[in-house]
Amino acid sequence: MALCLVTGGAGFIGSHTVDLLLEKGYEVRILDSLQPRVHPQGKPSFVSTDAEFVHGDVSRREDMTRALQGVSYVFHLAAYQDYMPDFSRFIHTNAESSALLLELTIGDRKRFPVRKVIFASSQAVSGEGIYVCPACAGNGRMPTIQEQLASGCSPIRSLPASAIHTPGPRPVDQLKRGEWEIRCLTCGGNMKPLLIQESTINPGTTYGISKYAIELLADRLGRRYGIPTVCMRYTYVQGSRNSFYNAYSGVARRFALRIMHELPPIVYEDGRQLRDYVNVRDVARANVLAMEDERADYQVLNVGGGRAVTVLEIANMMLRALGSDLKPLIPGEFRLGDTRHTVSDISKLRALGWHPVVPVEQNVAEFVDWIRGQSGTQKYLEEAERTMRERGVLQRIDR
């Protein structure tokens, strides 16, 4: 079978992708730097010993050169992701490493016989997403996100163009007032979210910008030099092996750690923000499908859970999974860089035969089972929240 390189293969999505590739009979090589913010204890025990492991940095030419030798397929999943404002690192680790990967492959096709590259992108490329203003649309009833998901597509084509908006990040002064919803720039009214299609591009963070740069590199250089590429726009990925060491790793981490230490889960904003949670094993299936199916070539594909869930609902699911009588705490805090509502249109990926099979309740349960077996979690909970406050990422509304 062909040799597959998985960069970031010791990580959350990477390790599950490695496992599935091995299960399907592929040879696998991992390139991972074991970045201390994610792997402070070194290579995790869940990394398969059936895969060759190369300790190295994707942004270093010599490390990437060593890892690429003889490789047929690349899953470029390694990335820097955090809420900290070290902007240059996002571009260096994410975008520059992708350019280096393509540069090496294009420069010596005999040495690096790569047939396809699967790039990890993110729904952060879409920023705040896409919205409709009911007032500007004529005050007709707007379908809810749940109704849009049930119908399998966004109603954007049936709405007047003047009522459709791709807003930028919410102003900090608006968030300071505790006004969470996205407002229409024309009339000032609250808008309603639409399913986010792959055509929606409006990154509002350096992380999102770095991922859009990857998409451009993959499409333009891949087409020019005949190397098929696919960019996978993940939404909110959950499940086992999700690192609890850094602040970026999401609500499952934050909620579980607090509840396990007899603290109520803290919900940012008002808890009504909608999210599209997808299980990591479903993501691994999507990654491998994109590699094996030629119909995916040169595509950007949303990878989501197909269901809209509020953050408050996730908090209550986590409380039930951990058997806690605590109640969620909503103290009027918000995190810079968070979007209000993010739910993906996954119809393009569905058309290739993929669909999410793990419900969000099971998603939460899997994470709880995994994190219960970890130790030293209190330290990382306190450190992450303290760092975000010190750097101005976590703020509170003005009372």
SS3 for the chain, per residue? CCEEEEECCCCHHHHHHHHHHHHCCCEEEEEECCCCCCCCCCCCCCCCCCCEEEECCCCCHHHHHHHHCCCCEEEECCCCCCCCCCHHHHHHHHHHHHHHHHHHHHHCCCCCCCCEEEEEEEHHHHCCCCEECCCCCCCCCCCCHHHHHHHCCCCHHHCCHHHEECCCCCCHHHHHCCCCCCECCCCCCECEECCECCCCCCCCCHHHHHHHHHHHHHHHHHHHHCCCEEEEEECEEECCCCCCCCHHHCHHHHHHHHHHCCCCCECCCCCCCEECEEEHHHHHHHHHHHHHCHHHCCEEEEECCCCCEEHHHHHHHHHHHCCCCCCCECCCEEECCCCCCECECCHHHHCCCCCCCCCHHHHHHHHHHHHCCCCCHHHHHHHHHHHHHHCCCEEECCC
**Six-digit token pair at 263?**
């603290």
Main-chain dihedrals φ then ψ at residue 301, nearest 5 degrees: -125, 125
Q: From CA 69, how far away is CA 347, in angstroms rounded?
A: 36
Domains of the chain: 3-126+201-396 (3.40.50.720), 131-193 (no CATH)
How much is the pLDDT for 156? Answer: 85
Closest Cα partner for 123 from 335, 304, 310?
304
Query: What pTM was computed for the model?
Result: 0.94
Q: From CA 293, how far away is CA 354, in angstroms rounded?
A: 11
338 Cβ contact partners less than 8 Å away, ≥ 6 residues apart? 268, 269, 273
Q: Which amino acid is at 324?
A: S
Vertex 119, ends 117 and 122: CA angle to 5°?
A: 165
How much is the pLDDT for 94? Answer: 92
How much is the pLDDT for 197? Answer: 95
Q: From CA 184, how far away is CA 273, in angstroms rounded?
A: 17
Q: From CA 197, how far away is CA 156, in angstroms rounded?
A: 10
Q: Are 209 and 169 in contact (CB under 8 A)?
A: no
- Cα 266 to chain center, whole Å? 21
316 Cβ contact partners less than 8 Å away, ≥ 6 residues apart? 328
Closest Cα partner for 116 from 368, 365, 290?
290
Q: Are 196 and 343 in contact (CB under 8 A)?
A: yes
Main-chain dihedrals φ then ψ at residue 101, nearest 5 degrees: -55, -45
Main-chain dihedrals φ then ψ at residue 88, nearest 5 degrees: -65, -30
Q: Are 195 and 345 in contact (CB under 8 A)?
A: yes
How much is the pLDDT for 174? Answer: 95
Q: What number of other Cβ atoms are within 10 A of residue 298's Cβ?
A: 13
Write out the chain's pLDDT in tens, 399 residues: 899 999 999 999 999 999 999 999 999 999 999 988 788 888 999 999 999 999 999 999 999 999 999 999 999 999 987 656 778 888 999 999 999 999 999 999 999 999 999 999 999 999 999 999 999 988 667 788 988 998 887 888 888 888 999 999 999 999 999 999 999 988 999 999 999 999 999 998 899 999 999 999 999 999 999 999 999 999 999 999 987 776 556 788 889 988 998 999 999 999 999 999 999 999 999 999 999 999 999 999 999 999 999 999 999 999 999 999 999 999 999 998 899 999 999 999 999 999 999 999 999 999 999 988 876 666 666 677 777 777 777 899 987
**Six-digit token pair at 206?**
């350096």
C-alpha separations of 238 from 35, 135, 246, 312, 366 in Å: 20, 36, 15, 16, 9
Q: Which amino acid is at 184?
A: C
Q: What number of other Cβ atoms are within 10 A of residue 199's Cβ?
A: 11
